[in-house]
């Protein structure tokens, strides 16, 4: 951007002669104004004016009542697994374990693909890490419950103003994604975190987002992510060369005990992408992905079906037709920013979630995917 302006400026300076000083002054001002407007317009398309967003109080009330109703209903043991098997038949294996187990080397399927769909050629390093981790799925106290209600809290701006925090805290398992903050947003998102699920670049940098009893579920998107998680579990510093492979600063310490770490079973990503969403098979590529990688949100929903008896969602739904709405509940990025990503197919994912909600398999507490509680006459 700056180079574009630099050339005429240099040209003018060279030719100016007697009027040199004045021209120089004018040029600097003009260039300054142009740069200001370019920067401003590029920010205008990224930032959303949050003061313009308000949620109608009637809508908030209905959302809160709906969440209460979902919580009051009887918890049906194994409900969500049965329903997923009904909808997707052989594409969904209800016996898939949610996390990687110590006996991973007996499961050939895990080593067929490279991350994120499998751990091809990573068997030894993986075994080394698994020796440090427990074999349990959930925390002792939660495991004992005969029927578990889970909620996957997405990061969507749709959560803003719905005041679902109190309701979300009453679920047995609250799954949060990437660096979604709790501090400062508890009215909207509650303050309970049973599981935080993220890839390395998504892990919160603030130690206040980790809890003594919460699980940290690592999603490994690339081979080098295994080196990162190993350093985090062992509480060692990250090797220098490993840092080059991340597209942003990654957490250097995850302040939880080794027994709180889990590694997402890559079969869940493979099953979500290749079987359920029917994305193309991974091909060898030098760089990038084929838009066949499911988002962490969808992956968490499928994980929840393997971990829980009943599943609800909140904070899901990207309404791409509303470019000026808030993308996340915690920052001021606009929905329009979502058009720039090329890794995920949001259309396919939204259809999948709509299907789950319309079929009654999962509940959408914030109504961003399919709203059961919105008054049908409102349009």
Which positions touch ligand NAG (CB under 6 A)?
Answer: 191-192, 211, 235, 255, 257, 291, 345, 347-348
Whose Cβ is closer to ligand NAG: residue 9's or residue 211's? 211
Six token digits for residue 232? 């985090």
Whose Cβ is closer to ligand NAG: residue 110's or residue 153's? 153
Whose Cβ is closer to ligand NAG: residue 80's or residue 151's? 151
Indicate the pairing of strand 149-153 with strand 173-177.
Answer: parallel
> Would you mind telling me the total number of residues written for the chain in this entry?
379
How far is the C-alpha of 165 from the C-alpha of 187, rounded, in Å?
A: 5
Q: What are the two backbone dihedrals, phi and then psi, of residue 307, each rounded to the nearest 5 degrees?
A: -95, -25
Whose Cβ is closer to ligand NAG: residue 3's or residue 141's? 141
| Shortest distance in whole angstroms from residue 247 CB to ligand NAG | 21
The Cα diameter of the chain in Å comes to 88
How far is the C-alpha of 223 from the C-alpha of 255, rounded, in Å?
A: 23
| Shortest distance in whole angstroms from residue 352 CB to ligand NAG | 9
| Shortest distance in whole angstroms from residue 325 CB to ligand NAG | 21
CA atoms within 13 A on the CB side of 39: 7
| Shortest distance in whole angstroms from residue 257 CB to ligand NAG | 6
In which element (H, E) is residue 225 found? helix 225-234
- Per-residue buried b or exposed e for 161-191, using 16+ beta carbons within 10 Å of the residue's own CB: bbbbbebbeebbbbbbbbbbbbeebeebbbe
Whose Cβ is closer to ligand NAG: residue 172's or residue 373's? 172
Whose Cβ is closer to ligand NAG: residue 29's or residue 257's? 257
Q: How far apart are the first and last CA of the chain?
A: 44
Whose Cβ is closer to ligand NAG: residue 48's or residue 229's? 229
> For the purposes of burial, counting CB atoms within 10 Å of the CB of 360, is it exposed (0-12), middle (13-18) or buried (19 or more)?
exposed
* 85, 89, 92, 94: CA torsion to nearest 10: 40
| Shortest distance in whole angstroms from residue 291 CB to ligand NAG | 5
> For the purposes of burial, counting CB atoms within 10 Å of the CB of 124, is it exposed (0-12), middle (13-18) or buried (19 or more)?
exposed
| Shortest distance in whole angstroms from residue 137 CB to ligand NAG | 21
| Shortest distance in whole angstroms from residue 358 CB to ligand NAG | 17
């Amino acid at each position: 951007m700056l180079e574009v302006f630099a050339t005429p400026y240099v040209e003018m300076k060279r030719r100016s002669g007697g009027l040199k000083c004045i021209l120089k002054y004018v040029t600097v001002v003009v260039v300054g104004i142009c740069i200001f407007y370019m920067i401003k317009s590029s920010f205008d398309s990224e930032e959303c004016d949050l003061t313009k967003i308000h949620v109608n109080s009637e809508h908030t009330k209905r959302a809160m009542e709906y969440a209460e109703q979902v919580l009051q209903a009887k918890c049906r043991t194994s409900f969500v697994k049965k329903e997923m098997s009904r909808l997707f038949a052989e594409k969904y294996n209800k016996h898939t374990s949610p996390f990687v187990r110590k006996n991973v080397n007996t499961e050939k399927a895990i080593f067929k693909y490279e991350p994120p769909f499998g751990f091809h050629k990573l068997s030894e390093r993986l075994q080394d890490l698994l020796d440090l981790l427990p074999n349990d799925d959930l925390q002792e106290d939660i495991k004992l419950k005969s029927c578990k209600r889970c909620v996957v809290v997405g990061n969507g701006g749709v959560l803003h103003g719905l005041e679902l925090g109190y309701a979300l805290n009453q679920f047995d398992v609250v799954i949060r994604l990437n660096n979604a903050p709790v501090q400062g947003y508890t009215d909207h998102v509650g303050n309970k975190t049973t599981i935080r699920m993220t890839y390395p670049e998504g892990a919160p940098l603030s130690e206040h987002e980790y809890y003594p009893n919460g699980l940290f579920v690592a999603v490994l998107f690339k081979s080098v992510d295994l080196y990162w998680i190993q350093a985090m579990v062992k509480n060692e510093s990250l090797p220098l060369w490993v840092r080059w492979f991340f597209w942003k600063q990654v957490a250097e310490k995850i302040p939880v005990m080794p027994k709180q770490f889990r590694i997402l079973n890559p079969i869940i990503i493979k099953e979500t992408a290749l079987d359920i969403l029917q994305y193309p098979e991974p091909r060898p590529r030098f760089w990038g992905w084929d838009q066949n990688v499911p988002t962490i949100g969808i992956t968490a929903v499928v994980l929840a079906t393997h971990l829980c008896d009943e599943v609800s969602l909140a904070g899901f739904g990207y309404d791409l037709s509303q470019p000026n709405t808030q993308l996340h509940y915690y920052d001021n990025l606009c929905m329009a920013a979502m058009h720039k990503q090329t890794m995920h197919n949001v259309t396919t994912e939204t259809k999948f979630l709509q299907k789950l909600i319309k079929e009654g398999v999962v509940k959408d507490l914030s109504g961003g995917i399919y709203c059961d509680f919105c008054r049908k006459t409102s349009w």
